[in-house]
Amino acid sequence: MKNSTKTKNSSEVKRANEILKKLKKEYPEVKIALNFGTPFQLLISTILSAQCTDDRVNLVTKSLFKKYKKPGDYLKVTNGELEKDIFSTGFYRQKAKNIKNCCKTLLENFNGKVPQNFEALNSLPGVGRKTASVVAGNAFGIPAIAVDTHVLRLSNLLGFVKTKDPGKIEMKLKEIFPKQDWINLGHYLMSHGRKICIARRPKCTQCVVGDSCPSFDPTN
């Protein structure tokens, strides 16, 4: 049983790396879509990106980051004022509450600095594993995989997992992909999900990993 499991894992890792190699070639300039200049700006942008497009977030933060430069700035305004500033990102009341609580914790526990530690990031109010992974990887270079809707969907379509649980998907991807590629893996899958493997209208015949995908449909 142990030998068959090892063989299965080996073939799975091999297929994963073949797919990764093709995605790297297809998207050589891959990078995070959110615009930011500091870890704190990325943290705020990622909180705002929940149920919102990156383009919309970038549009909002262009003026937001001129008004709010540090955690204390967000605590100086009323909830209503902050809600108005982030209104177009959706769920603005909850996001304003999360941002304020997060900033309060940063000031009280981390001297106003975004912690360079995954568990500490994950402990911040309004910050889940996805947000912590985005900040850890893209702001500090800490190996992490952020499981967003694209990563969740493509991980299932490519046959790596059969679950919608982000935590289980994250752990599985970490098992079969090289640690040095964890940060960009999310970007590759997100880029492919936006350009080719589009929900409801995938372009399978244009897919560079179609020959390795169990969900390939020649009629698409």
Question: Is 136 found in the same domain as 56?
Answer: yes
pLDDT confidence bin for 10, thresholds 50/70/90: confident
Q: Do 170 and 123 share a domain, yes or no?
A: no
- Cα(64)–Cα(83) distance, rounded to whole angstroms? 11
- Is residue 81 located within the same domain as residue 20? no
- Asked about 130 being catalytic, the answer comes back as yes
* Residue 217 bears catalytic tag: no
Q: Reply yes or no on whether the pLDDT at 23 is more than 80.
A: yes
- Domain span including residue 197: 13-25+145-212
Q: Of 22, 54, 85, 148, which one is the catalytic site residue?
A: 148
Q: What percent of the chain has pLDDT over 90?
A: 95
**Interatomic CA distance for residues 169 and 167, integer angstroms:** 5
Q: Judge if 109 and 158 occupy the same domain.
A: no
Going by pLDDT thresholds of 50, 70 and 90, the confidence category of residue 9 is confident
pTM of the model: 0.91
Split at pLDDT 50, 70, 90, the class of 7 is very low
In a domain, 219, yes or no: no
- Tell me, yes or no, whether 162 and 117 share the same domain: no
pLDDT at 130: 95
Among 108, 140, 172, the domain-final residue is 140
Active-site residue among 130, 203, 211, 217? Answer: 130
- CATH number at 51 reads 1.10.340.30
Average pLDDT along the chain: 94
Are residues 120 and 180 both part of a single domain?
no
Q: For residue 217, is it within any domain? A: no
